[in-house]
Structure 1
């Protein structure tokens, strides 16, 4: 299923309509089409500045946000390519610190779509090529590339020589693509996922990772060894030491002098920040100093990742002082992160959820079960989604997030609201509440 995209700019929308008509589906993975498309465009992926390539099931977008914030605090100009967008397609491409403007975006998409004629390229392949073209033509010091899906066969993996690769949290997701039968791949699902993610590791690139269970760690180590790379692994080469809402980062080379206090809450975000610092520690060239690291960690923000909504159209539908949290969690790994964050929360949770039909409701329900006051299920606009029956007999249905919030009987002193289940739903929530990612 392609990512749906809309723009208020007619020129951009004309190109997004062309994008929406491209062939989606199982054939989306593979490097042949993106390689040919980039060749037709003069191979812009070979002319990028110092590049950081980040894979993972969850946390890769947040890791990219930490990388960018620290590098910008260092005074560097940074390109970034991330996905999916939440509200505006422009969010995917950040040029030297700024979201790409509509005029340039429309021009680039038109150029790439014209070059893709006859290739049967996918939505993501065209978008990736457009980002590479923009990055190659706009001066910057660094380039951050987030893997879209998997790693080994993801369109972003056409980049020839990243300076540093990073692998964030691993879990089961996108099974139809990443667990499709293929000779020569690991049989256990979790190991196959690790194997696919490790496919971004290339000779000459440094590699930083989180700590993983033994079988997964061995898969990644085998890939690294095959290309002559020594992994920089959490718990062995670097570590974080949590201290309340802050943490201290250490490596085999020493400890950063100050406690680091992330803006984004949760232990998993401390680990994502730690991974970003580890990647920067390995990068060739100028290193960010302790002040830049501290400033970047405290400034980094990635929307719809345990984001507390600000006053707006949606928050006005519940009693004053009600906390509404938004998170795009949609798989078991992300559900576990949510459960850890809310583990010591004394208040009950009213869950408002919408989940794509190819996801598993228990991924969110099971970890949060003991904390739930109610479950209200809403559609995910523009996508096939589960109905309320999939969430159990106590779940109720609502026609929209607005309707769900209006129906809740919330006691702000003893209860909170969590909206979760899909990044597409999260985008609708931010748009409706007037919180556009920038």
Structure 2
């Protein structure tokens, strides 16, 4: 048996924490003794993770406590998910992490990072045995940002974030059950539903699902927009546009059942983010339920005042299992096209379910991870920037200016409100 520690910053509601939870659940308990740690704190997922591990630690940034936990449980694999991989990294927290990594290295504990961020830090990366990105697009960004001379090209690959298909199957609704959920939400049978699901995070939010409404209602007067969850700062925009009657706004939740219900009332998911996606758990789960996805391209090679990712154009292949459009008008046209062509909508729906299970299913992903540990080798991926450039949609100079202006304005408002 191999003792493995699954560790991340905290047990919050984000995709990273959900991925860690899925690893804890699906790692083969006949081969692995699984432990978990929230290095900087706890969170709502802790109660779910506890069900799948031998022991759990909320370290609250205490490196000594973390090292003692590793010693006591004779950890052999240290698998961490995006610990402190942010631009606003505090040197104090980074120093604490380095102490833990140094202890692991000194004691021949294998260090594996699952990284959703294409960040290089020689103080941390020098300890890593294997680096696993959550998409091929992340690798492209990593190579593009950092000269290949400072990267060990033989120690990284990618594994998509695992989607808990068995869990999602539990929440699969019949047509009659979907009707009941729609009634509960205030959706009538004749309504055509476009939805978005995510956290109420103003820094991730992007306005496309609001801006597209005036275009859609010209052709789809029975439109309903379902959002879980809307940042409160955006309510005023909806009211100012006088389109609030088209919206059904649901609160943020950690309930997998409620999230699955929200997915299944949608006819189409319009999933966009100011910063793009490193993978897109909400997209992949929506795909399992057969929802066609419309998204945008957020090219990280163009200048913005904030960091962007763009893996959603890898998960949603344009004109195959959804659409990638950066123009609000073209986005509306694609939604209207699917509304009027039910046979195409159904075809995209089936393709999405198939792709979600085959490429993102937890059993397949985590089996690959286990094989990597047992074989002690990684499948090196050669991903060319030229391949990425073929699929990316670039924003116009005007739109880049607008994106940066909105981001700066919202940041200033946020700072002023804190005073």
User: What TM-score range do you get, normalising by the shorter chain?
Assistant: 0.3 to 0.5
TM-score, with length taken from structure 2: 0.34
More helix by share: 2
Instruction: Select the structure with the greater relative contact order (CA < 8 A; seq sep ≥ 6).
Output: 1
